[in-house]
Chains A and B, each alone.
Chain A
Amino acid sequence: MVEQPTIDPMHQFLVQKIWQGPVFQVAGVTVDMSITNSVVSMIAGALILMAFFLLTARGQIVPNRAQALAEGIYNIVDKVLVTPIIGHHGRPYIPYLFTLFCVILVLNLMGVLLAVGSLGGLTLTFTVTSQLAITATLAVLTFFSVFILGFVKHGPKFLGLFAPSGMPLPLLIFMVPIEMISYFVRPVTLAMRLFGNMLGGHVVMALFGAFVVALGIAATAGGLSTLLFVPSALSFAMIVALTGLELVVALLQAFVFTALATVYLNEVVNFGHGH
């Protein structure tokens, strides 16, 4: 009789130190420069992106496979998002949106495809985008660059965003706070959406993985419990299906994050054009 492993689906999200770096204080805030499994995954993601960039930097008239992939991703950002939503005024912002899309996509896909688990209690591959700190950084960066761009482009007139035109004054008293809340909750929703989707998907996958092992071990007891191999195999089939679903979710969430960033940019770029 093999001992039953404990089911702990949240273990995969644990940030563990691999190398203890220098710890120092900056303006009263403790900064820990340690290398964790999260940092390793982020560096790996950055290396993948850089390698991809180097592979596709020299454009050819007849594209090779990597270039065709890169052009496909670029077309998603340009032809599906920026041009229909913002129009040709949005072209200067394509580099940022393209970077955003690529970073989120690579980090999401690494979490799904490289989910090989742990080595000696240390989770090696790690879904970076399932950490709220990372998604919040991306969301806050996107939101405030768009917000500041609004003031740079339109000056104080940009505050008119919170007062819909043609609104009678009594209603305006209620509308302005509501508009402000719904505007400033945007980075929160951006961060929570990516975080929640990645966390939820990986918890479900880890749970079904634990079912396979736990039911399989229980089935080895012999007798009637041998029948437990059936739900164990079903759980395994479920993991295969869920991995496919997670691949779609990884792509979709990268797309949704970029699409919402594009919509927020559109309000700034086409401000006061009746869009």
Chain B
Amino acid sequence: MEAEAAKLIGAGLATSGMIGAGIGLGSLFGNYLQAAIRNPSAAASQQTMLFLGMALTETMGLFSFVVSLIILFG
């Protein structure tokens, strides 16, 4: 296999790390909604924490994005 082809395949494979971020975000928002429906009065106060958790979970997906960018252009 040519090095260039392997590079492209590797960059594609590296993005599979986003699977984890997807699962994480789904579980995050799912659990938030479940809790918010059980106790709607407490939902608004936890929204900041929700977005913080979202940001931190997203970071993991972004790391894989960076790795694939490094493989492609690095």
- Segment at the A interface, from B3-11, B23-31, B32-40, B48-56: B48-56
Q: Does A209 contact B (CB under 8 A)?
A: no
Contact between A193 and B48, CB atoms less than 8 A apart: no
Contact between B51 and A192, CB atoms less than 8 A apart: no
Contact between A81 and B48, CB atoms less than 8 A apart: yes
Q: Does A189 contact B (CB under 8 A)?
A: yes
Nearest Cβ on chain A to B58's Cβ, whole angstroms: 6
Contact between A259 and B58, CB atoms less than 8 A apart: no
Q: A197 vs B65: C-alpha distance in the bound complex, in angstroms? A: 11
Q: Does A255 contact B (CB under 8 A)?
A: yes
Contact with B along A227-270 (1 / 0, CB 8 A): 00000000000000000000000001001100110010000000
Contact between B55 and A260, CB atoms less than 8 A apart: yes
Given A193-B55, A256-B54, A259-B55, CB of A85 within 8 Å of CB of B48: yes
Given A192-B66, A196-B65, CB of A255 within 8 Å of CB of B59: no
Residue in chain A with minimal CB distance to B45 = A84
Residue in chain A with minimal CB distance to B47 = A80
Q: For window 58-92 of chain A, which residues contact chain B by CB distance below 8 Å? A: 80-81, 84-85
Q: How many residues of B contact A (CB 8 A)?
A: 13
Contact between B51 and A193, CB atoms less than 8 A apart: no
Contact with B along A186-214 (1 / 0, CB 8 A): 00010011001100100000000000000
Q: Enumerate chain B residues within 8 angstroms of A196, measured Cβ to Cβ.
A: 62, 65-66
Contact between A189 and B48, CB atoms less than 8 A apart: no
Contact between A263 and B52, CB atoms less than 8 A apart: yes
Q: Enumerate chain A residues within 8 angstroms of B45, measured Cβ to Cβ.
A: 84
Q: A177 vs B58: C-alpha distance in the bound complex, in angstroms? A: 23
Contact between B52 and A193, CB atoms less than 8 A apart: no
Given A189-B59, A193-B55, A193-B59, CB of A259 within 8 Å of CB of B66: no
Q: Enumerate chain A residues within 8 angstroms of B48, measured Cβ to Cβ.
A: 80-81, 84-85, 259
Q: Enumerate chain A residues within 8 angstroms of B62, measured Cβ to Cβ.
A: 189, 192-193, 196
Q: A260 vs B54: C-alpha distance in the bound complex, in angstroms? A: 11
Residue in chain B with minimal CB distance to A196 = B62
Q: Enumerate chain A residues within 8 angstroms of B55, measured Cβ to Cβ.
A: 193, 256, 259-260
Nearest Cβ on chain B to A71's Cβ, whole angstroms: 19
Besides A189-B62, A196-B66, A256-B51, 6 more A-B contacts (Cβ < 8 Å) are: A192-B59, A192-B63, A192-B66, A197-B58, A252-B51, A256-B55
Q: List 26 A-B contacts (CB under 8 A).
A: A80-B47, A80-B48, A84-B45, A84-B48, A85-B48, A189-B59, A189-B62, A192-B59, A192-B62, A192-B63, A192-B65, A192-B66, A193-B55, A193-B58, A193-B59, A196-B66, A197-B58, A252-B51, A256-B51, A256-B52, A259-B48, A259-B51, A259-B52, A260-B52, A260-B55, A263-B52
Which A residues are within 8 Å of any B CB, using their own CB?
Answer: 80-81, 84-85, 189, 192-193, 196-197, 200, 252, 255-256, 259-260, 263
5 A-B pairs with the lowest CB-CB distances in the bound complex, closest first:
A256-B55, A196-B62, A189-B59, A192-B62, A196-B65
